[in-house]
Chain A
């Protein structure tokens, strides 16, 4: 075990390999509040990558309803339960990570889903956390809640799948930090399936090896966002590059959301993998649940999101505005610009969508119009 620095934990931790950060780290921000669980992302991925034999059950991208939706079944409950108490103290994680809690003879504290755990990808869909009593819904705000959590591989800085593979069949690309599983080298031991707490590695029984999300790297290499991003009709996703906190650049949209405004949080940072998909937390879920799921700072993140100023609101308007990766951005008055590294313009969106009001009666055609909000 080596000692590495995990900035999400605010401390060093043990990891199987020494710290070796890529030149650039693929990362993304998902705005949970915009997701409607239409599963277009899921199908975009499915039709692009996992339509083959042996891949039938695989969802490299899935959207589950929290708190009762899971794919595979109980993935988060199981790993949280196995890990035991997870304590934070003033932004520093005081508990053990999955690497530090590994049992004797193991590289990672993991668990292995059974086949049937994959059989119900939409279990718990739209289920509320609590019952809404009869008539309660008409009384204004009620306490029942749920939200949609879209998930892909987190392309972690310290991947548990990579650490667990005794054959080093999994590697993290130095050029972009994407975590890939070498299909020519894997021998199907399924150690990675067991180790990945997010359960985003899948065993293909008909090719005898495991497979995982590849962040659509052929698109990334062309400066394009992955399929699940480009096809998101809710425009909840923004892909880009993430710096470490000490090198945060406010002109980088991902850095701005994660490091500068701190409104995007990692999924279960306490596990120790330094995941690189960040979530703008839902506005209406209980604080304790949010703290468990996204670590410290969620309340502050939600407050900033609720009271977004023109810069923050403007950047959020860039989500889903182009298929290209937007490495830089700036707001110019009432417009927000997505830029290339060299400053050239990729896309320009209005900070506020214009409102058009039509006359109720169309004089030219002599008919009444219905204006929809």
Chain B
């Protein structure tokens, strides 16, 4: 698609380089949620240099249809900090193309982290939980980040040369409510129609069961790096995760340019995450 290539090229040219000192990759077998006085919300913040990098291999989601049969993103570099009330995780991965639009046949780059809804020994299935054992998911999308960063999604932004003769709801101010009728997803409160944030809070009890998590408080900021993406997602600490205790966390990455969306994704197994004692 020539149009999209042109748009992507523009996006790359305006990338904010994400500079930081490289933190050493740890040989540890679990992710440590380090204690910090202040949680950096920007992936380029120098504070991340002090957090150990935990490298998690990604595997194709090949358990449920539609399956991801081709391995793309190979690994995720994860760092984790907590200020005692919230956890911030920095996710970094390689992705040569910046895909920041969801359009027909085009998908946005994205990532997600997943935690069991309860800190318990009996953990849910890593593939989006299971009935009776929900998981909480924070889902970041590059397209939403772009909108948050000041490039709102409009017809003109997607198709600069598009011309529309007339929208019925623009005929008179009194007809504004008609616009809602022609955007039923928005009228029904579907977050996909304009999340107003770069991240969604979701809950799931198995593949295909994603629902909005109204009690969620995730925040996220993603930046394009020289080789891919770096995203910081923060959220409240899991209830009951006291210092010195472990829970699990899992991750997923989507390369929009490779047609990855929904179940077509690279994912991790559960990763043990230890909340630092002090």
A→B interface (CB under 8 Å): 47, 49-57, 104-107, 112-116, 118, 164, 166-168, 183-191, 193, 202-209, 211
Contact = CB atoms under 8 A, between A and B. Distances in A.
Interface of B: 1, 3-4, 62, 64-69, 101-107, 153-155, 158, 162, 164, 167-169, 179, 181-190, 192-194, 207-210, 261-263
A190 B105 contact: yes
B69 A104 contact: yes
A208 B193 contact: yes
B105 A167 contact: no
Contacts of B262: 166-167, 187, 189, 191
10 contacts: A52-B167, A53-B154, A53-B183, A57-B104, A166-B65, A186-B190, A188-B102, A191-B262, A208-B190, A208-B192
Contact of A184 (B3, B189, B263): B189
B168 A51 contact: yes
A189 B188 CA distance: 18
Contacts of A202: 104
Given A50-B182, A166-B262, A189-B261, 9 more contacts: A51-B167, A168-B208, A188-B192, A202-B104, A204-B185, A205-B101, A207-B193, A209-B190, A211-B184
B263 A166 contact: yes
Contact of B158 (A185, A187, A205): A205
B167 A113 contact: no
Nearest to B188: A184
Given A107-B66, A183-B185, A190-B105, A53 B155 contact: yes
Consensus secondary structure, chain A interface: loop
Which residue, of A55, A187, A207, has the highest number of chain B Cβ atoms within 10 A?
Answer: A207
Contacts of A184: 185, 188-190
B105 A112 contact: yes
A54 B187 CA distance: 14
Contact of B182 (A51, A185, A186): A51
Contact of A206 (B106, B181, B183, B189): B183
Given A47-B168, A105-B69, A115 B103 contact: yes
A106 B66 contact: yes
Nearest first, the 3 closest Cβ-Cβ pairs linking A and B are A52-B182, A105-B67, A208-B192
Given A56-B155, A105-B65, A186 B185 contact: yes
Contacts of B67: 104-106
A55 B182 contact: yes
A49 B183 CA distance: 10
B187 to A, nearest CB: 8
B181 to A, nearest CB: 8
Contacts of B154: 53, 206
Contacts of A164: 66
A52 B105 CA distance: 20
B192 A207 contact: yes
A190 B101 CA distance: 14
Among B66, B155, B162, the one with the most A-chain Cβ atoms within 10 Å of its Cβ is B66
A113 B105 contact: yes
Nearest to B168: A51
A97 to B, nearest CB: 16
Nearest to B60: A105
A52 B183 contact: yes
A230 B25 CA distance: 67
A209 B158 CA distance: 16
B62 A105 contact: yes
A115 B105 contact: yes
Contacts of A185: 190
B155 A54 contact: yes
Contacts of A52: 167, 169, 179, 181-183
Given A184-B188, A184-B190, A207-B183, A190 B62 contact: no
Given A166-B65, A166-B262, A190-B261, A183 B105 contact: no
Contact of B192 (A47, A50, A104, A209): A209
A116 B183 contact: no
Contacts of A183: 184-185, 187-188, 190
Contacts of B103: 115, 203, 205
B183 A203 contact: no
Contacts of B183: 52-54, 204, 206-207
A56 B162 contact: yes
Contacts of A50: 182
A314 to B, nearest CB: 40
Contacts of A56: 155, 162, 164
A275 B275 CA distance: 56
A104 B66 CA distance: 9
A38 to B, nearest CB: 19
A115 B1 contact: yes
A207 B186 contact: yes
A57 B207 CA distance: 32
A56 B162 CA distance: 9
Contacts of B4: 115
B142 to A, nearest CB: 13
B160 to A, nearest CB: 13
A208 B4 CA distance: 17
Contacts of B168: 47, 51
A208 B153 CA distance: 10
Given A186-B192, A205-B153, A206-B183, A167 B104 contact: no
Contact of A207 (B104, B164, B190): B190
Nearest to A55: B182
Contacts of B193: 206-209
Contact of B104 (A47, A105, A168, A203): A203
Nearest to B200: A187
Nearest to A105: B67
B219 to A, nearest CB: 20
A206 B158 CA distance: 9
